[in-house]
A and B are shown apart, each in its own frame.
Chain A
Amino acid sequence: MRVSVIGCTAMLLAAVAACGGRGGTEPGATASGPCQGQQTTGITDKTIKLGGIYPLSGPASAYGDIPKGIKAYFDYINAEKNGIGGRKVEFVVRDDGYQPPKAVEEARRLVEQEQVFALFQTLGTPSTTATWDYTNQRKVPQIFVATGASKWGTDTKHPWTIGWQPNYISEARVYAQYLKKEKPTAKVAVLYQNDDFGKDLFGGFKRAIEGSGITVVGEQSYEVTDPSIDPQMRNLAGSKADVFLNITTPKFGSQALAADAKNTAWNPLHIINNVSSSITVLKPVGFENVQGVVSSTYYKDPRDATWNDDAEMKLYKAKMAQYAPGTDPNVPFFTFGWAVADSFNKTMSAAKCPTREGLRDSMRSLSNVQINMLLPGVTMTTAADDGFPIESMQLMKFKGEGWELFGNVIDTRKEFGPLTG
């Protein structure tokens, strides 16, 4: 008897959760007029509903700051700019804890239950990989995913998904281009993280230096779970390379910088990738030890004094204080969120039809769209066969207590041709 009563409870629980009809199978709302038949789920004349999936909990929860920057931006344009073309933006954020199965669940929740117009950002290569088949089957735009993997652009089977930030291969090309000019016979030692990110960047670098006088004389990989990269650094020091390419995530970036500083017998030109170029990575090593380190970037650093009088930076800091009180606007993730939200605004405004199809076509036909938070000269361009919005970066060198930009913005499209799978 006890069992059956418990069974009743389970059934009751199931029944409670089972309320609600099967609305999702019916075709969603469609437009009439010139955009006839196109999907208008989640968008009206007054509102547009977007959904984002980020790790708000778990080991990658630092990225949870990005949606805060985005929210501040949308709150600002909703209150002061009448939204995007008269449509107030509603931005629903869900937590996946950096877990792919959770991301799938949340993507379905946003699309089927929240009825969002588009997924505006999923974060991380695993979560995005787990969801993009679904979004493309349902024909829901999955716009500006927050991961630098190159497959979002090279893939041709997922027209509804597109990246935003420069992909890792483009970044590698920037460094290769720099070395070709400055050290045409460079001998390079590489430390890279043994995952898609490290391999994408390193692979891109190897392809970019093909046919030049630059050679890779030493390569070492590490796992994210490794406690230390000191053995790898010792091996690399033995390679007698004159350039050290540091392809790491922040924790290991710090370690590699420290190991390089400690070894006075080996003084290569140190290039650290964008992911680890934050001041918080360099500070523990001591600023006097990281002078002359080279990296690259594409959006304005809120801590860089160069932008103190920049109109967009001033606006950003003022609006962050107003719409996200209590946060530190110097955190680059907020700036990132602001820049990507502005990019969405421009892309949506440029859409010919206020429909999902319209957004898809718009995000694949951007032409030199200027985003004020990006570096001057860095713009967004895409085409039917070019799924990479940002492919330009500028080099920077560490000087004193901060980064200093130098040289011109390097457009990797021009230098290396389009990136294909």
Chain B
Amino acid sequence: MSEAAEARASGSRWRVAANRRWIIMALLLALTCYAPFQLVPFRVFQFTMVLIYAVALLGLNLLVGHTGQISLGHGAYFAVGAYTAAILLHSWHVPYPATLPAAAVAAFALGLAFGVPAVRLRGLYLALVTLAIAIFLVPLLKRFESVTGGSMGLTLAKPVPPAWTGLAEDQWLYFLTLAVAVVAFLVTRSVLRSRVGRALHAIRDNEAAAEVMGVRLSFYKTLSFAWSAMLAGIAGCLYTWVIGYVSPDSFVVTLSITLLAGLVVGGLGSYWGPLLGGLFVMFVPSISQSVNDAAPGVVFGLLIIAVMYVAPTGLAGLAGRAAYSIKKTLRKE
């Protein structure tokens, strides 16, 4: 075979692979759109929550998986988004679609504010500072009772599906969340494929080398923090729409830790990690409760350990490895 022919062949093989990828994406999207009409509202609600966690994890993945920083305080940004939406809905009676950009901006600003000092910190020190955010937010929310509703929280009306859609409330919320999640996914993906993404990866892999190559560390790290916080804030806003109730007790430190655990289990730095992590965060606690009624926490912990032992690169990594070995076996035959 001549070199040109070989190049053509590999090119077409690449095209086939790309096509297949698009077909699979389309199938996946079709399935996610079809599912809410087949499932009971309770399941639809669960998948809505999976998507919400996935959006938050998308942000966390940007920071932890792609930039190599750590955050134990993402629950706080999530809470800021949720409370921004809740306060706007409750005190200002803003139409609910308008709360989404507001929550995004608020979380972005907060992420930026914390990103600046965080640039000077590394590793454990950074982890501690971000943990502090998550810890002090809860008492703070309880203090300003006239605005935040104190420890009683705020109860809100859920978005009503427009009549022309003919959808039930849970389906409407699902599609709203799905739309936001898809947009967030595509935007993050294109960001990561751009200059910015390469800069972030360079920082993760070797800060010194990245700096030598002309990557402005402080700029990109701060940006990564802010973007990551913004996605968490967007997830928080969706959460407020779906649950219709916010209280400080919903956003304790455990939320931040659970998010991080979900991401690590799902797969750090992979595209599908956030979605798998969302599924894990949502379903594994209830599965572990059905395994043992008395101590769901213990079973949950053991499952995390088991997953990390079997799949050190997360579920996404495990799937990738499985696919690779299947392909290899197929090729041998």
Task: Find out whether the CB atom of A14 lies under 8 angstroms from the CB atom of B32.
Answer: yes
Instruction: Give which listed residue, A3, A24, A126, contacts B40 with CB less than 8 A.
Output: A24
Question: How many Å from the CB of B68 to the closest CB on chain A?
Answer: 21
Residue B247 interfacial (CB < 8 Å): yes
Closest to B24 in A: A4
Stretch at the interface among B2-10, B101-109, B193-201, B315-323: B315-323
Task: Find out whether the CB atom of B249 lies under 8 angstroms from the CB atom of A98.
Answer: yes
Closest to B149 in A: A196
Task: Find out whether the CB atom of B153 lies under 8 angstroms from the CB atom of A126.
Answer: yes
Residues of chain A within 8 A (CB-CB) of B250 are 99-101, 126
Residues of chain B within 8 A (CB-CB) of A1 are 17, 20-21, 323
- In whole angstroms, what is the CA distance A305 to B39 when docked? 55
Closest to A93 in B: B293
Closest to B272 in A: A6
Task: With A5-B320, A6-B271, A99-B250 as known contacts, state yes or no: A13 contacts B279, CB within 8 Å.
Answer: yes
Residues of chain B within 8 A (CB-CB) of A109 are 42, 286
Within 8 A of B (CB), among A176-230: 194-196, 199, 223, 225
Task: Find out whether the CB atom of A108 lies under 8 angstroms from the CB atom of B138.
Answer: no
Instruction: Give which listed residue, A6, A11, A21, A195, contacts B320 with CB less than 8 A.
Output: A6
Residue B139 interfacial (CB < 8 Å): yes
Task: Find out whether the CB atom of B46 lies under 8 angstroms from the CB atom of A105.
Answer: yes
Task: With A17-B43, A22-B38, A95-B289 as known contacts, state yes or no: A7 contacts B152, CB within 8 Å.
Answer: no
Task: Find out whether the CB atom of B41 lies under 8 angstroms from the CB atom of A112.
Answer: yes
Residue B27 interfacial (CB < 8 Å): yes
Task: Find out whether the CB atom of A21 lies under 8 angstroms from the CB atom of B38.
Answer: yes
Residue A104 interfacial (CB < 8 Å): yes
Residues of chain B within 8 A (CB-CB) of A13 are 276, 279
Task: Find out whether the CB atom of A126 lies under 8 angstroms from the CB atom of B249.
Answer: yes
Residues of chain B within 8 A (CB-CB) of A232 are none
Interface string of A98-129 (1 = CB under 8 A from B): 11111011001101110000000000011001
Closest to A125 in B: B152
Question: How many Å from the CB of A142 to the closest CB on chain B?
Answer: 15
- In whole angstroms, what is the CA distance A314 to B249 when docked? 39
Within 8 A of B (CB), among A142-192: none
Task: Find out whether the CB atom of B40 lies under 8 angstroms from the CB atom of A15.
Answer: no
Task: Find out whether the CB atom of A196 lies under 8 angstroms from the CB atom of B43.
Answer: no
Instruction: Give which listed residue, A56, A99, A195, contacts B151 with CB less than 8 A.
Output: A195
Task: With A100-B243, A113-B40 as known contacts, state yes or no: A7 contacts B28, CB within 8 Å.
Answer: yes
Residue A231 interfacial (CB < 8 Å): no
- In whole angstroms, what is the CA distance A133 to B245 when docked? 10
Residues of chain B within 8 A (CB-CB) of A196 are 150-152
Residues of chain A within 8 A (CB-CB) of B124 are none
Residue A414 interfacial (CB < 8 Å): no
Residues of chain B within 8 A (CB-CB) of A21 are 38-40
Residues of chain B within 8 A (CB-CB) of A112 are 40-42
Residue B254 interfacial (CB < 8 Å): yes
Residues of chain A within 8 A (CB-CB) of B39 are 18, 20-22
Question: How many Å from the CB of B87 to the closest CB on chain A?
Answer: 17
Residues of chain A within 8 A (CB-CB) of B323 are 1-2, 5-6, 8-9
Residues of chain B within 8 A (CB-CB) of A31 are none
Task: Find out whether the CB atom of A129 lies under 8 angstroms from the CB atom of B28.
Answer: no
Task: With A10-B28, A108-B42 as known contacts, state yes or no: A194 contacts B151, CB within 8 Å.
Answer: yes
Task: Find out whether the CB atom of B254 lies under 8 angstroms from the CB atom of A24.
Answer: no
Interface string of A50-64 (1 = CB under 8 A from B): 000000111000000
Task: Find out whether the CB atom of B27 lies under 8 angstroms from the CB atom of A11.
Answer: yes
Task: Find out whether the CB atom of B40 lies under 8 angstroms from the CB atom of A23.
Answer: yes
Question: How many Å from the CB of B330 to the closest CB on chain A?
Answer: 12
- In whole angstroms, what is the CA distance A95 to B323 when docked? 36
Residues of chain B within 8 A (CB-CB) of A18 are 31, 35, 38-39, 43
Task: Find out whether the CB atom of B153 lies under 8 angstroms from the CB atom of A129.
Answer: yes
Task: Find out whether the CB atom of A20 lies under 8 angstroms from the CB atom of B324.
Answer: no
Residue B218 interfacial (CB < 8 Å): no
Residue A369 interfacial (CB < 8 Å): no
Question: How many Å from the CB of A389 to the closest CB on chain B?
Answer: 22
Instruction: Give which listed residue, A20, A23, A94, A99, contacts B289 with CB less than 8 A.
Output: A94
Task: Find out whether the CB atom of A194 lies under 8 angstroms from the CB atom of B24.
Answer: no
Instruction: Give which listed residue, A97, A111, A133, contacts B244 with CB less than 8 A.
Output: A133
Interface string of B261-301 (1 = CB under 8 A from A): 00000000011100110010001011001000111110000
Beyond the given A105-B286, A129-B245, please list 8 additional residue pairs across the A-B interface where CB-CB is below 8 A.
A10-B275, A58-B297, A97-B285, A99-B250, A100-B247, A112-B41, A129-B153, A196-B150
- 16 A-B pairs, CB-CB below 8 angstroms? A1-B21, A2-B323, A3-B272, A6-B320, A7-B272, A9-B276, A14-B35, A56-B293, A57-B297, A58-B254, A58-B297, A104-B45, A105-B286, A194-B142, A194-B150, A225-B139
